[in-house]
Amino acid sequence: MIKPHGSNELNALYVSDSTERVALITEANTLPSIDIDSTAAANAVMLGSGYFNPLTGFMNLADCLSVSESMTLTSGLFWPTPVANRVASATSLRVGQKVALKDPNVEGNPAIAIMVINSIDEASDAQIKTMASQIFGSTDTDHPGVATFTKAGKVFIGGDIQVLNYSYFKSDFPDTFRTASQIRDQITANNWETIVAFQTRNPMHLAHEELCRIAMQRLNADGCVIHMLLGQLKPGDIPADVRDACIRTMADVYFPVNSVMVTGYGFDMLYAGPREAVLHAIFRQNMGATHLIVGRDHAGVGDYYGAFDAQTIFDTIPEGTLEIEIFNADHTAWSKKLNRVVMMREAPDHAKDDFVLLSGTKVREMLSSGIAPPPEFSRPEVSQILIEHYQIQQ
C-alpha cells in the first residue's frame, strides 16, 4: 500500500489505549485549560485521526510562516498550510506547561486533547496579512477563508498533543466518519491496490458521479473512496447530514457493490483553492489512496482562483515530494449530442448549448420550489432529498 506522507507508518495522535485515555481524561480535568476555536478543534481531530501525518501537534509561528511562504516547515518537511492553535491572549500560559484544549463544538466544552506547550509566539498584523495572502492568494475579507484566518487570535501556541476524542464527528456521523487508519484497513480488507479518492463538500450530482466512474475506468482502479468534509462550511452551504444522505443514496443505487466507500473526515473547510488541493492530496495519501481527482476550481470559492490553479500548483512541487498521483479533471456535464456525461475539454466540437448546464443559483431556486433538476443533471433520488431540505429551510 502507498506510504503515508513523511513516514513509513501512520502516526495517528488519538490515544487508542482505553486505560491510558481514561487516565488522561481524568488528568485533563485537573489541568489549566485553553478555549480553542473550531479551526483548532478540527486540526486536533485531523491530527488524532492520522490525516495530518507525520505532524505531532500544532506548529509554532516560525513553521506557520515557513509553510505559508514556501510550503515547507523549518525542518524541511513539505506541508502546504499552517496547522495552528491560535488564541487571543496567553498571559497565563508558559512554555513547558501541560494544558487541556477545550472543544468549542461540543456541549460542555470537554477536553479534546492534552497539549505540552513548546512555544508561545504573537504574530504581528503584517505577518497575519502576509500569511493570508500566501495561503489564500488574497487578503480580501469577503473571502470566507481569509475572514476566518484574519479574525483568529494572533497568539500561536505550538506543541505536541495527545487526542482524547474526535469531537462531534464520530457521534453525529457514526456511519461516515472514518480515520485514515480505518480507511487503510478497509482498503486492505477489500484487496484494493489502485484507489481513487474524490473530495467533496457538496452533494454529488450526476456529473460528479460520472467523473468518479471516468477516473476509475481510465486508471483501472479497484475502488473509489468518496471522502466528504464533515466540518464547518460557509453560510449557505448544504449541511453535512444532508450531503451525507445524498451521497449515500447515490452510491447505494448507482454504483456496483464494493466499488465505492462513502466516508467523511472532521475538518473545517479552508476555501484555500490550490493550497487546499495540495492539503487534500496529503489527506488522501495518508488514508491510502493512490490517486486524487482534482477538478475545476477544486476547493475554491467565488472568483478568487483560476479554473485550474488547483491542478497547476502540483507542477510546482518537487518530484518525489508526494507519492499520491493527481487525476486532472475538467468540468463535466451532460452532452446532448452524445447522450452522456463528458469532460467538456474532450468535446471540442460542442458549443455551450450542447451541454446541460445549470448555475448553482438556478438549481437552488428549482429545489426551493419543489422542482427537480432534469435527470441529465441530478439523480431523482438525490433531488428529492435536496427538495425536502430546502423546503424545511423556508
Contact 337, 348 (CB under 8 A): no
| Marked catalytic residue, from 86, 178, 201, 243 | 201
C-alpha cell at 55: 505532524
pLDDT at 44 over 70: yes
pLDDT at 57 over 70: yes
Q: What is the predicted pLDDT for the residue at 63?
A: 98
Region 135-155: what's the mean pLDDT? 97
Contact 382, 254 (CB under 8 A): no
pLDDT at 71 over 80: yes
pLDDT band for position 122 (cuts 50, 70, 90): very high
| Marked catalytic residue, from 11, 202, 248, 364 | 202
Least Cα distance to 9 among 230, 186, 180, 262 occurs for 180
pLDDT tens digits along 76-98:
999 999 999 999 999 999 999 99
Q: What is the predicted pLDDT for the residue at 8?
A: 95
- Site of grid cell 476550481: 297
Q: What is the predicted pLDDT for the residue at 394?
A: 64
Q: Which alpha helices (H) appear in the chain, and where do they start and end?
A: 18-28, 38-48, 61-70, 125-136, 144-151, 169-172, 180-190, 206-219, 240-254, 274-286, 309-312, 360-368, 380-393
Q: How far apart are CA 64 and CA 72, in angstroms?
A: 9
Distances (CA, A) of 20 to 69, 164, 170, 305: 39, 10, 20, 46
Q: What is the predicted pLDDT for the residue at 237?
A: 82
pLDDT at 29 over 80: yes
Contact 113, 279 (CB under 8 A): no
Please confirm, yes or no, whether 201 is among the known catalytic residues: yes
Share of the chain above pLDDT 90, in %: 92
Least Cα distance to 228 among 287, 163, 176, 164 occurs for 176
Q: What is the predicted pLDDT for the residue at 5?
A: 98
pLDDT at 318 over 90: yes
Exposed / middle / buried, residue 164 (Cβ in 10 Å: 0-12, 13-18, 19+): buried
Q: What is the DSSP string of 310-337?
A: HHHGGGGSPTTS-SSEEEE---EEEETT
Name the β-bridge partners of 99.
115
Q: Is the peptide bond before 174 cis (omega within 30 degrees of 0)?
A: no
pLDDT band for position 233 (cuts 50, 70, 90): confident
Please confirm, yes or no, whether 275 is among the known catalytic residues: no
pLDDT band for position 123 (cuts 50, 70, 90): very high
pLDDT at 232 over 90: no
pLDDT at 236 over 80: no
Task: Confirm whether pTM is higher than 0.85.
Answer: yes
Q: What is the predicted pLDDT for the residue at 224?
A: 98
How do 291-294 and 195-200 pair as beta strands?
Answer: parallel
Q: How far apart are CA 360 and CA 300, in angstroms?
A: 14
Average pLDDT, the chain: 95
Q: How far apart are CA 212 and CA 205, in angstroms?
A: 11
pLDDT tens digits along 345-391:
999 999 999 999 998 889 989 999 999 999 999 999 999 999 999 88
